[in-house]
Amino acid sequence: MSDLAIREVIIIGNDDPPREVVVRELTPALLRKLLVSSSLASVPTDEEGIARMQIDAWLFEECRLSDLAAFTDLTIEQIEALPPSQLKVIKRKVKDLNPDFFSALGRMAAARSGH
């Protein structure tokens, strides 16, 4: 990752000690890898895997839970253990540091839907 990319530490929750999460700006090369990896993901066939995939894809409108893992120092397991209120704090910071990525996602979705 480029040393020029922005990184910010945010505090989530009320734990003692407080939980720090590093949120980073992704380069176009890393964003491309993220898009490629999401399109190549295998579709699970067991109930647990299907439920995990659905929550990953549909919990938030603008991004997947697995996207949040790519933008932070958290694993997908750590993200899945957080309540939506804390995930929203992380998502806001991710969007703040990566507005062009989210803008591009919106344009791609509009192009796919024919609008």
Q: pLDDT by residue (tens digit) across 21-34?
A: 999 999 999 888 88
Q: Cα-flanking dihedrals φ and ψ of residue 18, to 5°?
A: -65, 150
pLDDT in tens, 52-106: 888 988 899 888 899 899 999 999 999 999 999 999 999 999 999 999 988 988 8
Burial of residue 43, with CB atoms counted within 10 A of its CB: 0-12 exposed, 13-18 middle, 19 or more buried: exposed
Q: What's the rounded mean pLDDT across residues 39-45?
A: 69
Give the DSSP per-residue string, 55-80.
HHHHSSSS--HHHHHHHBS--HHHHH
**What are the sequence ranges of the domains in the chain?**
7-113
Burial of residue 21, with CB atoms counted within 10 A of its CB: 0-12 exposed, 13-18 middle, 19 or more buried: buried
Q: Can you give the pLDDT at residue 41? A: 63
